[in-house]
Structures are given as C-alpha cells and as structure tokens.
Amino acid sequence: MRKSYLDNLRWVTVVLVVLYHVIYMYNAEGIRGTLGKITSLDVQYYDVFQYIVYPWFMLLLFIVSGASARYALEKHTGREFIRSRTVKLLVPVTVGLVAFQFIQGWINMSLSGVADSPDMPLIGKVIACILSGIGVLWYLQMLWIFSLVIVLIKKIDKDRLWNACRKTPFWVLILFAALVYGAGQILNTPVIVCYRFGLYFLGFLLGYFVFSHDEVIEVTKKFFWIFAAAALGLCIAFCATYFGQNYADDPVYRSPLFLLYAWFGSLAMIGGFAKFFDFETPFTKWMSSHSWGLYVFHYLGISAVALYLAKPGLIPSWAAYLLSAAAGFALAYALYFVISRIPVYRWAVLGITKKKEEKKDVQG
C-alpha cells in the first residue's frame, strides 16, 4: 500500500526548500553563495524563516528517503535497486551537469563574480561552471552513496536489526537525540558545509530501520503533541539564540540546540503528517508526482531573477522576492514538463529512462 503521508511529507518539504532558497538568496546574515541583502531594512526579521526550517528539513528528507529505500528493497533485488538509483541519482549529477546544469553553474559563478575574473583561464571557468552546477543536487550525490551502502548493510544484517527496530518505543525515540547530536559532530566537510555525512547518513539509517515500520509511525502519531511542543520550544530557543549568525556553518550547526531542534522537528513532522495528512487528493497527487522536478530545477529560476533583475537593481526588493518565488516554481515545473518528454535528454538530466516513469511509484 502507498503511504500517502510519506508522499505529502516529501512534497511539502520540497516546497519549504524552495521558499527557504528565496529567503536565503537575499539573506542579511552573510551566508555565502547568494546575492545577499537587497533591502534598506536594518534587520530583516523575516529571515527567521531560514532558522525555523534549516535545522530539520534536509534531515527529514533523508529520513523519508531511508524509509523509501526500505520499501523499494522489499520489491526489488539489491542489484535492481542499485541500477535504478544510479540512473535516477548519479546520472543527473554527472551527465546532467554537462547536459543542462552548467547553466545553473554559470549563474552561480556570475552571482559570486567568478565568471568575470580575468585571472581565471577559460578552461578553469568551464570546469568551475560545470562543478558549480551541482548546486542543490548535492542531496542526490549523498543519497546515491547511502543507497549503495544500505544494500551492503541489508545483505550483512539479513533484516535482524530491521526486525528488532519494529517495536521502537517512545522513550527510545527520545534517546535517539543523543545519536543525532553525536552524528552532527562527525564527517562534516569544510567549506562546502552541506555535505554532513554523519548527520544525514544517520537520518537515512533511521528512516530505513526505524521509520519504515508502521508500528513506529503509530508511536509518532500517539505522541505527536509532545514532539510538537518540544520542537516548538527548541525552535524558539534556537531562533532567539542564533538569529543573525551563520546557521549553516560551524559552530552553530554542531550546537546542541541546532541538533536537538533538528531531531524533534523531524519527529513532529513525521508524526503530524502521519496523523493529519495521510490522504490523497488530485492536488496532493499532482504535487507529489512533480516534486522531483521541483527540487531539481527550482534554484535556477530563483537565482536567475537574482542575477538578471535584482542585482542590477531593475526591480524593487519586494518584487525580487515575489518574482524569485514565482520563477522558482513556474520555471521548475515548465522545465520538468518539457525535459521529461525528450528521449535520452530526460535520462541525462532527470534520470528518467522511459516516459512512463514520470508516474512511477516514488516510494519504490
């Protein structure tokens, strides 16, 4: 059976990622890789949205991906799983960089001023343009690596640990916060700080071993209000403590407040969606089936508006936010509609091998 709450949780989180990147693009906190502040406000209080969602939304996506990997491996062999994940995840961040995402790379370089540097040779600019095109696709890279590892773990474990996690109680879910804190301290790459292998691999493993069980989901539903209250309290404390600081880098992203909020925020979202949003409508079905394209392409529209309209001051700041949001959604959906219908090219950019795969079960 399909898990409607899981579909809804995925696409809603992707929508939050889009909105986050709109605010992030014009942030006043000095986060690198963006256009930065374009308003005359002394303090952009609405930037707090970044602090509200950033600690948990990618951890949550990896948890959802871990659970989805479990469901897929119940239907397919390890070899079939690796083959399908390689096409869907690895191809877009290798072949896809040359086929399409270099455009995103050029915009990223132009925003940072690297594209105009007279000191960089042409071949250096070409390579940097391609690599910079990875952008938000770092998630696909990590997910592909985790998918390979989980097949090996499943072969060794033979579902012993997975079966043991079936009865995970409320108090163990609470204690997992210690694991999350520990994982947040290790395997964090410098400079490109989004590659947080310790934290995100733990999230993927918890999704696979723990949250793929209906029994555990029932626990998150039963204790949803406790998780939600804890998440709200931690959210307020985190925002009050760190607002104005670089939340995406050391030491903030390794702090107890950040990681506790990341964990309880994820628990609250899982329990809340399982409790209140376990249904399907034509709208939710459409959003779910297009969330992949939205994630892959959304940043292009946002960054293009920033580079070609906001940076030269052709539009007021309020229009930059609105147009960036509109472009983030509209251009992503338009590109997905067009590219997913072009043979071979859809394989290179989106990891779609056949037209019918647009409607393939996203949980497997």
Q: Which of 89-98, 138-147, 187-196 is the least confident region?
A: 187-196
Q: What is the CA radius of gyration of the chain?
A: 20
pLDDT of residue 1: 66
How confident is the model over 115-126, as a mean pLDDT? Answer: 78
pLDDT the model gives residue 266: 98
Count, residues in the chain = 364
Residue 307 belongs to some domain of the structure: yes
Residue 237 lies in a domain: yes
> pLDDT confidence of 363, banded at 50, 70, 90?
low
Side chain identity at residue 199, one-letter code:
L
pLDDT score, position 359: 46
| Pairwise pLDDT comparison (296 vs 115), residue with the higher score | 296
pLDDT band of 30, cuts 50, 70, 90? confident
Residue 74 within any structural domain of the chain: yes
- Give a yes or no: residue 123 inside a domain: yes
Torsion of CA 289, 208, 197, 223, to 10 degrees: 90
Residue 122 domain-assigned (yes or no): yes
For 86-164, where are the alpha helices, taking DSSP H only? 95-96, 102-112, 122-132, 138-157, 160-164
**Token reading at 52:** 């509200």
- Rounded CA gap, 207 and 255, in Å? 23
Q: Does residue 199 fall inside a structural domain? A: yes
Own/partner pairs, 62-65, CB within 8 angstroms, 24+ separation = 62/142, 62/143, 62/146, 62/200, 62/201, 62/203, 62/204, 62/207, 63/203, 63/204, 63/206, 63/207, 63/211, 63/266, 63/270, 64/6, 64/9, 64/10, 64/13, 64/207, 65/143, 65/146, 65/204, 65/207
Q: How many CB atoms lie within 10 A of CB 13?
A: 20
CA separation for the pair 81, 101 (Å, rounded): 25
State residue 120's pLDDT score: 78
Report d(CA 136, CA 14) in Å as an integer.
11
Question: Residue 178 sits in which domain range?
Answer: 4-359
Structure-token match 């270099």, residue found: 102
Which residues lie below 8 Å from residue 296, measured CB to CB, with a gap of 6+? 92, 136, 137, 332, 336, 349, 350
Q: What's the CA gap between 110 and 97, in Å, rounded?
A: 17
Average pLDDT over residues 211-237: 98
- 66 token code pair: 């871990």
pLDDT band at 358 (very low <50, low <70, confident <90, very high): very low
- The answer on pLDDT for 168 being more than 70 is yes
Q: Mean pLDDT over residues 111-119, rounded?
A: 76
Tell me what pLDDT residue 123 has: 86
Q: Is residue 261 part of a domain?
A: yes
The total of structural domains in the chain comes to 1
Residue 364 lies in a domain: no
User: Per DSSP, what are the bridge partners of residue 196?
Assistant: 188
In this predicted structure, the answer to whether residue 68 has a pLDDT above a threshold of 50 is yes
Residue 105 CA to residue 107 CA, distance in Å, equals 5
- CA–CA gap between residue 209 and residue 335 (Å, rounded): 35
Over residues 60-73, mean pLDDT: 96
What average pLDDT score do residues 248-253 get? Answer: 92
Instruction: Name residue 230's amino acid.
Output: A
